[in-house]
Amino acid sequence: MKKQLRVNQVSLYREIAKNLVNPLEVIREAISNSHDANAREVTIDISRNSDNDILVEMADDGSGMDEGGFERFFNLGDSQKLQNLIGQKGLGTKTYFRSKKITVESQSNQKRLKAVMVHPWLTLNSNQLPEYDLDEIQYEPGKNGTIIRVEGYDIDNPERYYNFETLRHYILWFTAAGSFKTKFAEVIQIHRYVQNMHIAPKIWLIDQISNRREEFAGGHKFSAPNENPEIDQNNERNPRSDSYCKHFGPFHKDTTINGKFVSFQLYGTMSFPVLSHVFFRDYSGEPDIRCC
């Protein structure tokens, strides 16, 4: 007798949100989606709402979403992204569900839509699927893009993660805004596998809690190499090496394995007496790996 497989949708949504390794992945997810929507600028704004909960707002000037895009945003496994985009499985946006409220505004094709989901995490933990209200709101000419607001993210000590210094470091090292892919933009073979090789979105980081803000261009910034450091008279064993730093790469190699294109990119810095800031990636479908 054949038995049909069943999926507990509530449990699946809950586990995806609960198993988040790093709460800052909500930032990475938003920047990745903005990058895939051809955004040139992304604003990350941290503040507190009227209930004193942390409010994370992520806004871009990308192509925006229509009603189908909203459905894919909230539904599970509905992504229609192509293989050369960052998010393909439609799972990443479910990380937002571990919160008290999600608000999404998006404008595309002369139409502006707004969705509000209240208490998604509480609802999931009550063994129910959360719902959202979707309405058309007033169109704003010239303001295509998407705004995502996540309020009351359910983690201990959210200030530990959502503060200016931590966010700045994370954005530059672990998101599409800090990508080193532009170093390989002239390698034509990669372009069919990776979208927007020449572009990493510009970021506005605003921390209203500490009253700090900064604008920085996309693309990771390695420290300038110090290839001729001054002699440290207090370091008898290694008078120069503690300050020595040298860039290497970018290096690119590609081949075909069983008819499938595989490539490897390497770019980084070497400092002594430790190895640091090594980036490499292959485009056989695996994510980039970063070693420090």
Rg (CA), the chain: 22
SS3 readout for 156-184: CCHHHCCCHHHHHHHHHHHCHHHCCHHHH
- Asked whether 68 and 111 are in contact (CB, 8 A), the reply is no
Instruction: Find the helix or strand (DSSP H, E) in which 29 lies.
Output: helix 25-36
Which CATH code, of 3.30.565.10, 3.90.1200.10, 3.30.2310.20, 3.30.420.40, is assigned to 9-216? 3.30.565.10
pLDDT digits (tens, 9 = 90+) for 177-198: 887 777 888 888 887 777 677 7
Q: Tell me, what DSSP letter sits at residue 259?
A: T
Report the first-to-last Cα separation within the chain, whole angstroms: 53
The domain spans of the chain are: 9-216, 241-291
Q: What's this model's pTM, rounded to 2 decimal places? A: 0.77
Each residue of 97-131: pLDDT tens digit?
A: 999 999 999 999 899 999 999 999 999 999 999 99
Residue 281's pLDDT band (boundaries 50, 70, 90)? low
pLDDT class of 46 with cuts at 50, 70, 90: very high
DSSP string of 122-151, one letter each residue: HHHHTT-----EEEEE---TT--EEEEEEE
